[in-house]
Chains A and B, each alone.
Chain A
């Protein structure tokens, strides 16, 4: 499970970085508030995974100082697109933890997957993307 959890940690780190970029390019107050709240959720989750990996005696790689974004973020539209991309990626990382875990670990992974899917749907609506949902989030 440590391997899958480490991948989830990397996804959470990338999300925290991405929301920093996203926040700069959003202009609507509600969007900015949503991005801040999302970043905080990912920080909390990141901290929880770090603790869990430490309890499992698994080593963790330090987060990269910067990331190459999947596409240039130049304004609101590309910022919203990145937010969707990030949440879909986080969902995929947590989905991979499900078969590798049991009990409380699986419940935590399910909560994280669900949270990312709901937030991705919210960003799709804000970006005017349809359909707003995916049939199998994280797949």
Chain B
């Protein structure tokens, strides 16, 4: 933590950001092995992580809209369940726990359709770049997300 010595904490947000930047800089340098040759390099994020994050966020977005508009619940429930199934399977394959969903305002059907389209692209990219053993899972998730766009018509 030699790089943080010059930062004075005054309770002012600006200097606190300075501290965070300095800490980040220090760990980045440490990660490069400048100060430490130990195996501290953080592992690269799993390429399926963005697909998992979206699955969790989409399930939560469907739940919020169904809660806000109960007549939609019967239609949206199975779509949310698909995303939960994706999150569970992705977490299993990645050997990680599913992250918690971000808090956000209730979406509209139109928002969900746009989010599904974007999420389909994420999963499609993951499928194209995945090793063989993960290609089918990512591909099915991309295809499912595309079918959700159709189901929301």
Contact = CB atoms under 8 A, between A and B. Distances in A.
Contact of A138 (B86, B89, B128, B140): B140
Given A121-B150, A132-B150, 11 more contacts: A106-B127, A106-B135, A121-B151, A130-B78, A134-B144, A135-B82, A136-B85, A136-B144, A138-B139, A138-B140, A139-B136
Contacts of B124: 110, 114
13 contacts: A95-B136, A110-B139, A117-B143, A117-B147, A121-B151, A131-B79, A133-B78, A133-B147, A134-B144, A136-B89, A136-B144, A137-B143, A138-B136
A96 B140 CA distance: 11
Secondary structure class of chain A's binding surface, majority of residues = helix
B132 A122 contact: no
Interface residues of A, number: 29
Secondary structure class of chain B's binding surface, majority of residues = helix
Nearest to A120: B147
A125 B81 CA distance: 18
Nearest to A106: B128
A86 to B, nearest CB: 16
A136 B124 CA distance: 14
Contacts of B120: 114
A21 interface: no
A86 B84 CA distance: 27
Contacts of B46: none
